[in-house]
Structure 1
């Protein structure tokens, strides 16, 4: 497969490359149950998860007039980091796909709403850090969103062929801001029904499909800002 010249791939991390969705559900349920609130299912999680995550916490069942969002999110993050290295894994074929693009000379970066140092540590732990030219995370653990990160690095991600790979509706916002072709990995943080409403996005069931799609997509028009 002949890869396109001057191509950059921007990857989301959690849910897109890292298969951590079920672990996130389990961790959130511990925070809920500690306060006498009912658990959520994986299906429910995929229906309500989004950015900024404060809204997701409310939909999960927390009354933020009674509970401190910073306390809740801090407790979740503590549980997450206690288990993420042993209870999650990369999505199937993730390392193979990243290695393939790297061998083709394709520039790859990660743009994530995860705290930067934790993000870098995980990419190194899973032996994928060297596939990326840059790894960009946020400055705190509250996952407010990725638009500002994109703004901060606009000059570094200009490319004739720019692809954005994500798993949430927020990724559609970021891809549109960057004028990037969007591919959704539909085995992550949100249900396919929520992702399928975006007509400009391409849906992929797995990362091997993402690889095939990028190889086939022509230099057509990209989404424009509203």
Structure 2
């Protein structure tokens, strides 16, 4: 009985690996026209990043409620993103991590931006090809699907935390730079004061010396 369970577990793990590999290959096939970026490159190359709920979807726009802004400021009210042939195609009720470009308060979220839907957080908003069938029981298929979704969501949460950490580091660097600039300003002011005092001292000594000679 134990040997049978071990064999079943090995089968599930092996199938899970093949399933994940197939998912990766299929995703890369659909995203072949996108330039691969590291997470930090993605963070640096977009001027607006946020976690949002999709409230409404029109023909060429979507309205969203911002849960957390991670980068940039979107001033329009309601907050909107543009939909075109190169953009993501969100659906009402979904939650997204958006990487966008703000231009004159118009938000463009390209399909290659790396934006992810929390329900199915892959980096491309396209249907993934069905993996090959492996003669698995319905229970095993459900388990594999849950494992796959859990792994994708964990990766998404790590990605969000990385963004927060990069923001903290930037704020710290900015604060340190401001402190350095303030020290430089104070030092310049001190130099001016000392120069004036030296000049005054020289003048006073010169006056005293003239009076003494007389």
TM-score tier, shorter chain, comes to under 0.3
State the structure with more CA Rg: 2
TM-score (norm: length of structure 2): 0.26
Which structure exhibits the higher relative contact order, with contacts defined as CA atoms closer than 8 Å and separated by 6 or more residues? 1
